[in-house]
Structure 1
Amino acid sequence: MKNEIVKLLKRESKLSDETIKEIEETNIQDFANLIKEIGKEKREHIKASEISKDLNTNYIGKNLYIYHEVNSTNTVAKFLSQTGVENGSIVISEKQTGARGRSGKSWESPLGGVWLSIILRPDVDHSKIPLITLATGVAVAKTLERIGIKNSEIKWPNDIMINDKKVCGILTEAVTNFNTIETVIIGVGIDANLNIEDFPEELQAGTTTLENELGRKGDENLLIKIFLEEFEKISELFNHEGYEEILKEWRKRSYTIGKIVEVRKPFNKYYDAYVLGISREGALVVEKIDGTLEKVISGECIIKN
């Protein structure tokens, strides 16, 4: 993590190697303060003033750190979370060079997309972490509905789909200390004002963008603002144990329920199954070929034609 933060300093501050070395040896809080200061500088594309104007939230997005380019907003968010930033702080980057999805997969993050991470400190048990991912998916889907896309669906556990193509991915990571959850970092990447040609050829067939779906470019700052509002609504439900309401909203938008999938679990365990639904814990409930039922807590599901 430290190496990635140093790279950010080199890119954003244009400091000499000697100065960077001195900074590395400073107190971690002083080091963090410099990262925060850089995150408060004005940017060309993503603008804190436009996101914050009339933002209808109590704590989500009240503190924004915006960068031009980082390896991963989740990495910066994890670093800042260890230095006392406020609950609900947001890390945004105009582009990412080393973003990743689930299972370590790379994530294309060029200029024109929305790449952000949320720093949360929920008072919850480990077992509720999957529900945070599902709740975030609902927040993204509701955001897209507000900008005119009515047919987005949520593919378990962390992808948003439009017309069978991926438009958004979510990566939730817990920062723990002696089995206690200190912070949850939620990374969200939305392919907003991008052309399909911006992606590697092997990803183009399964990817879409908001610009492609709407037939026009949208306002990235407005998109972020709407998402922060929708996320706070769903997180308040979560904080007050409104899990059934979250699951109800998720099921209404499910891309996975009722389909045949290939379940890919850790250690190369693959099998085909029919998706029956989602459990109260956020696990996928499937019926295997032999008729047995199973809850899939972690892994990946590939939709089969």
Structure 2
Amino acid sequence: MNDTRRAILDALADGPISGPELANTLDVSRNAVWKHVEALRESGFEIESTDDGYRLCDVPEFGSAVEYGLAAPFEIEFHESIGSTNDRARELACDGAADIAVLADEQIGGRGRLNRAWFGPSGGVWLSLVLRPDIPTSHAPLLTLAAAVAVTRAAREAGVPAEIKWPNDVLVPSAVAYEGESGQHPDDGLVGDEKLAGILTEMEGEAGRVSWVVVGIGINVNIEGDDLPDGATSVQEAAGTVDRRIFVQRLLEEFDTLRVSPDKILSAWREHAATLGQRVRVETPSGNVVGTAIDIESPGVLVVETDDGDVRVHAGDCEHLRPA
């Protein structure tokens, strides 16, 4: 959304305003005002022409309308359908862009960790942030943690009891006991939480400093259970249908608050962590680490208490286990 259209919406928020008044306020022609109003209407904004001037009657539920009322400095690039928001964000980052949120209603070629396919059906939030933080490359994982916290806070505001599994999976505790008909637990020993969101961060740096970071966020929002893979849930399933525009705004605002106060990210992550205090198994390149997760250290290192002492895990696949 360009600055003129944003200014028109801001003016309309205060009540009806005539075309000549808008033209005078914005220092553009009346014809330009009309063209911008028509473009906003095509984007889904319901703008009525009355005797008193233009009046904003309704705001779209999603899309570029996320910028309307957004209290964070992100420009929204919206796509009805896209192969991968991360791919598009990477293109923008390589072209020098910053503070752009690539947002899609549907994502058909997304990828998660370990190059796993991630299909994002219509109704979800498929979002990639283009960032240019002035930080060392070693601090970049903090942005991933910040994204997990932001998603969790937005989900909780929507009524979902979301929690974070190290480092960045957002889960919902299952209401099912996860026991078989015999009343016995399944043999894998895993705790049966359901996945609400996943986060994938990509980065390019030079001389130890970050050039750009892309934070990809995929959230099952207004998606019915039949359209979800096994082991997944959605905001709709957990708490009912929500306004995705408001949901994304809150996510972006929470993320923006955290990225400018990096010293607060770890404490915020701990506040919403499902992993801390849990018995875990973490698959790492050098083997499995099994024990109790007791803390997280900068920039996202998991501290696991094992029979052989504390082990610090920098990266790996973490699973929550039932108590031994």
Question: In angstroms, what is the RMSD of aligned CA positions?
Answer: 1.8
> How far is 1:174 from its partner?
0.5
Q: Does 1:170 align with 2:208?
A: no
CA distance in structure 2 between the aligned counterparts of 1:288 and 1:168, rounded to whole angstroms: 29
Say whether 1:230 aligns with 2:254: yes
Find 1:293's aligned residue among 307, 310, 315. Answer: 310
Distance 1:177 1:45 in 2: 40
Aligned to 2:132: 121
Aligned 8 A contact 2:82 2:104 in 1 = yes
Amino acid at match of 2:290: D
SS at match of 1:111: coil
Q: CA deviation at 1:227?
A: 1.1
Which residue does the alignment assign to 1:154? 164
The answer for the alignment partner of 2:321 in structure 1 is 304
SS at match of 1:98: strand
Q: How far does residue 102 in structure 1 lie from its aligned partner after superposition?
A: 1.4
Unaligned runs of 5+ in 2: 1-41, 45-59, 174-192
How many angstroms does 1:42 deviate by? 4.1
Amino acid at match of 1:298: A
Q: With structure 1 as the length reference, what TM-score do the two structures score?
A: 0.76
Runs of 4+ in 1 over 6 A off after TM superposition: none
The match for 2:288 among 270, 279, 283 is: 270
Find the residue that maps to 2:261 and give its secondary structure: helix
Q: Percent identity?
A: 33
Deviation by residue 1:122-159 (Cα, 9 ceiling, x = unmatched) = 1111221221111111111111222233x211111111
Who is 1:195 aligned against?
224
CA distance in 1, matches of 2:167, 2:66: 28
Determine if contact 1:176/1:183 at 8 Å carries over to the other structure.
Answer: yes
* 1:15-51: CA deviation from partner (whole Å, max 9, x where unpaired): xxxxxxxxxxxxxxxxxxxxxxxxxx94897321x31
Equivalent residue, structure 1, for 2:242: 218
| Alignment partners' CA distance in 1, 2:82 and 2:207 | 29
Match status 1:97 vs 2:108: yes
Matched AA of 1:297: H
1:28-47 equivalences in 2 (<5 Å): 42=43, 46-47=62-63
Question: Using the alignment, how far apart are the partners of 1:194 and 1:266 within structure 2?
Answer: 35
Instruction: Provide the secondary structure at the position in 1 that maps to 2:196.
Output: strand
1:259 aligns with 2:270: no
Q: 1:266 to 1:72 in 2, by over 3 A?
A: farther
User: What is the aligned partner in structure 1 of residue 68 from structure 2?
Assistant: 53
Distance 1:195 1:101 in 2: 21
| 2:303 is aligned with 1:279 | no
Give the one of 208, 215, 219 matched to 1:186.
215
> Structure 1, residues 81-125: CA drift from partner, whole Å, max 9, x if none?
11122x211101111112111121222311110001001101111
The answer to whether the aligner puts 1:77 opposite 2:94 as a matched pair is no
CA distance in 1, matches of 2:206, 2:138: 16
Which residue pairs with 2:31 in the alignment?
none
Find the aligned partners of 1:303 and 1:146 in 2 and give their Cα distance: 25
Q: Secondary structure at the match of 1:141?
A: helix
User: What residue identity is the alignment partner of 1:140?
Assistant: V
Among residues 59, 78, 93, which one is paired with 1:66 in the alignment?
Answer: 78
Aligned letter for 1:167?
Answer: L
Measure, in 2, the Cα distance between the counterparts of 1:266 and 1:73: 29
Amino acid corresponding to residue 281 of structure 1 in structure 2 = P
Partner residue, 2:53:
none
Cα distance, 1:176 vs. partner?
A: 2.6
Please state which structure has a larger fraction of its residues in strand. Answer: 2
For residue 259 of structure 1, report the CA deviation from its aligned partner: 1.1
What TM-score do the two structures reach when normalised by structure 2?
Answer: 0.72
The total of aligned residue pairs comes to: 247
* Structure exhibiting the larger radius of gyration computed from Cα positions: 2
Q: Which residue of 1 aligns with 2:22?
A: none
